[in-house]
Amino acid sequence: MNEADSERIAGLLTAEGLEAVDDPESADVVVLNTCCIRENADNKLYGHLGNLKTLKEERPGLQIAVAGCLAQKDREEIIERAGHVDVVFGTHNLHRAAELLHEATTADGPLVEIVDEHRPDAASMDARLPSERVSGHSAWITIQIGCDNSCTFCIVPIVRGPEVSRRMGDVVREAEELAAAGVSEVTLLGQNVNSYGRDLGAGQWSPRFADLLRAIDAVDGIRRIRYTSPHPKDLRDDTIAAMAECDAVCEQLHLPLQSGSDRTLTRMHRGYTAARYLRRLDAARAAIPDLAVTTDLIVGFPGETEADFARTLEIVDEAAFDAAYTFVFSPRPGTPAADMSADTVPAEVVAERMQRLTDLVARHALAHNETRVGRIEEVLVEGESKTNAARQSGRTRQGKLVHFDAAAADVPAGTFVDVRIVRAAPHWLAGELVATVDGSRHPRRRIPVTAA
Ligand code: SF4
């Protein structure tokens, strides 16, 4: 969500005549768009601001803005600790980025504009703001902001507010415009996409997320649809059916588990049991062949016992995820879990549990990836490999990272290619370029998981 917001801020500033540069040294304006989901974002922010202070002393005309949800949460502290900041603004008023920077040029001190309570209606959501997209072939589409859930570890409902869905027609129109501009892959963004539309229907919940998937699937030129994230308690059969039936919807599901212990899930206020989670996962895997499933897991939630953690290992083993984002619990101010400090799990215990968990996740990830060796995968090229300029990288429909040897001139970013997979590791696949895939849309190819 923050990456999508950053593209909007960049779009607004570009519309004012600014040009993007690669390094802060040559910039006239630096905007740090922050996120407060994790604790170490605070430390990173003040590290960056420290570096920028030297730059500002050399060039007093440099403007520095801090945006995003950390700015919203820590507005006074930012000004106190970094008096060289010119503008501070939050997630609800990013549309004012350019104006605020302009106003700051004549202001006496730092300009702070935060809107804490904001519930835009669907019609006035900031969807029509320009975006300076990082990729020409792949784009985020925000379909919903905020969250109506109350997970005890999560700061999102505090900083992003209640759920508001964009109107389906607006979302589809954005997808059509993106397709006309050459975008072939879209990722739909929301805090809980399964409840998309709940606030739009008059007395009846419509449209639902499944309707939106089907509508975007019908947009000519959009060949891949991804989304993040669904809440396990709300993963409905109609969403699974739409995923199975829409050619463009990728065989990829990110379904955050967080913990395998029912006791911990209750303390987290997640609204499902581990057994129910596994049932929804089974339903999705049964309906969607070759589905890759990833998850989020928190280690060391306050009061997590060895028995709770052992249950997490059992469920992770049973779920056999393709990958998992594993996080050490980090208390976020204002959340119920931040008041559970009496139950803090010692750091050395958390580190040891994390090691066991990541080892297990890596074993399953490698096993999944090894089944793909020998297969020909459709890869959407993202560009030069970050570690080897002679190689290109891209993603399969399942979201798996693939490296292959090819000159960038032969396969520019945004090209669909067929790659024969020859090697697998837990986090990537390596392969040989077979052919460039025809640019026209073609139906989803079903490849049995066990095929060699
Ligand atoms: Fe946070 Fe997600 Fe829970 Fe909403 S559903 S409160 S965004 S963790």
Q: Is the CB of 149 under 6 A from ligand 1?
A: yes
| Residue 211: how many other CB atoms lie within 10 Å | 16
CA of 360 to the centre of ligand 1 (A): 25
Closest CA to 235 of 158, 287, 199: 287
Local confidence band at 408 (pLDDT 50, 70, 90 cut-offs): low
Q: Is the CB of 192 under 6 A from ligand 1?
A: yes
pLDDT of 432: 94
Query: Can you point out the beta strands (E) in 51-123?
Result: 63-68, 87-89, 111-113
Residue nearest to atom 1 of ligand 1 (CA): 154
Q: Is the CB of 157 under 6 A from ligand 1?
A: yes
CA of 112 to the centre of ligand 1 (A): 27
* Candidate ranges 19-33, 47-61, 97-111, 248-262; pick with highest mean pLDDT: 248-262
CA of 328 to the centre of ligand 1 (A): 16
Mean pLDDT of the chain: 90
Residue nearest to atom 2 of ligand 1 (CA): 191
Locate the ligand 1 atom nearest the alpha carbon of residue 269 and give its number: 3
Strand partners, 141: 188
CA of 228 to the centre of ligand 1 (A): 12
Locate the ligand 1 atom nearest the alpha carbon of residue 148 and give its number: 4
Locate the ligand 1 atom nearest the alpha carbon of residue 258 and give its number: 8
Local confidence band at 129 (pLDDT 50, 70, 90 cut-offs): low
CA–CA dist 417, 436 (Å, integer): 4
> For residue 325, which phi and psi values (nearest 5 degrees)?
-95, 115
Q: Is the CB of 151 under 6 A from ligand 1?
A: yes
What mean pLDDT do residues 116-123 have? 62
Question: Best mutation site among 156, 229, 272, 297 for ligand 1, i.e. most ligand atoms within 8 A of its Cβ?
Answer: 156
Residue nearest to atom 3 of ligand 1 (CA): 151
Q: Tokens standing for 127?
A: 């969807």
pLDDT of 449: 38
What mean pLDDT do residues 148-161 have? 91
CA–CA dist 68, 86 (Å, integer): 15
Of residues 329 and 409, the one with the higher pLDDT is 329
Question: SS3 sequence, 327-382?
Answer: EECCCCCCCHHHHCHHHCCCHHHHHHHHHHHHHHHHHHHHHHHHCCCCCEEEEEEE
Of residues 237 and 75, the one with the higher pLDDT is 237
What mean pLDDT do residues 191-215 have? 88
Q: Is the CB of 147 under 6 A from ligand 1?
A: yes
Q: Is the pLDDT of residue 446 over 50?
A: no
pLDDT of 121: 62
CA of 256 to the centre of ligand 1 (A): 10
Question: pTM of the prediction?
Answer: 0.88
CA–CA dist 436, 449 (Å, integer): 23
CA of 149 to the centre of ligand 1 (A): 6
- Looking up tokens 């793909």 gives 372
CA–CA dist 68, 44 (Å, integer): 14
Q: Tokens standing for 435?
A: 């052919």
**Burial class (CB within 10 angstroms; exposed 0-12, middle 13-18, buried 19+) of 417:** buried
CA of 310 to the centre of ligand 1 (A): 24
Question: Best mutation site among 2, 152, 154 for ligand 1, i.e. most ligand atoms within 8 A of its Cβ?
Answer: 154
pLDDT of 444: 45
Q: Is the CB of 63 under 6 A from ligand 1?
A: no
CA–CA dist 171, 142 (Å, integer): 8
Q: Is the CB of 330 under 6 A from ligand 1?
A: no
Q: Is the pLDDT of residue 126 over 60?
A: no
Local confidence band at 86 (pLDDT 50, 70, 90 cut-offs): very high
Local confidence band at 113 (pLDDT 50, 70, 90 cut-offs): confident
| Residue 54: how many other CB atoms lie within 10 Å | 10
Single-letter amino acid code for the residue at 76: E
CA of 164 to the centre of ligand 1 (A): 14
- CA 246 from centre of chain: 22
Residue nearest to atom 5 of ligand 1 (CA): 149
